Amino acid sequence: MIRRSPLHVIPLAALLMLGVSACQPVSAESGALPAPTVDAPKTTVHGEQVAVLAGGCFWGIEAVFEHVKGVHRVIAGYSGGNADTAHYDEVSEGDTGHAESVQVHYDPAEVSYGTLLQVFFSVALDPTQLNRQGPDSGTQYRSVIFYANPEQQRIASSYIAQLTAAKSFPAPIVTQVVPLQAFYPAEAYHQHYFSEHPGNPYIVINDAPKVAQLKQLFPALYQPDRQVVEVQPN
């Protein structure tokens, strides 16, 4: 496992020697996945709803959703464990129950929950990897959909069943669908890490290709760089 730190940047050549490569969904070569057949009803009333998702390093998941139209802010953080262990150094040990997660604040009149999941599975992760994504391994990097209500649970479970029936991936989807208990924002230096550190080799190799793929596969959904959240450090 590569321990990521803003104060310690592993040289690009060293990462390449280690065999680190961008983690992309294994269905990527065939393009975007189909839209969910079960989704939230379309609304014309603007407001804000929240989705909490986990799938590997939160830097890349945050970057993807910050570039989705209809998403107003994204917060990197932790979910699945307790408040007293929601700190990077402890979560990185892999025994807190937390997963590195993102809290996505979106307008359902602009983008649906199901569409967010379509992006999640098409671009943001490989849902067939158990307790890892790319170079990162451990339960803190597991893929999870933390549902906030029965509708989110129904949409998420139905979409996984839909993708499974369609054999969209060559291996079983291991993404968990579990109730959201709490979300804890990560330390301030983790927020906007993609845009703040575009030259970081980890970002270049693992996360920039995801944002590029979002733009390629979902051009109508793509929005250019912008920072969409400010949070206080833990």
One DSSP character per residue, 162-176 reads HHHHTT-SSS----E
Query: In Å, how far are 61, 64, 82, 84, 86 from 184, measured between CA atoms?
Result: 16, 20, 9, 10, 6
Higher pLDDT, 186 or 31: 186
pLDDT at 78: 98
Q: Is 23 a catalytic residue?
A: no
User: Which superfamily, per CATH, for 12-217?
Assistant: Peptide methionine sulphoxide reductase MsrA (3.30.1060.10)
> Which residue in 157, 217, 234, 194 sits closest to 34, CA to CA?
217
pLDDT level of residue 25 (50, 70, 90 thresholds): low
Mean pLDDT, rounded, for 197-215: 96
Residue of 57, 99, 116, 211 marked catalytic:
57
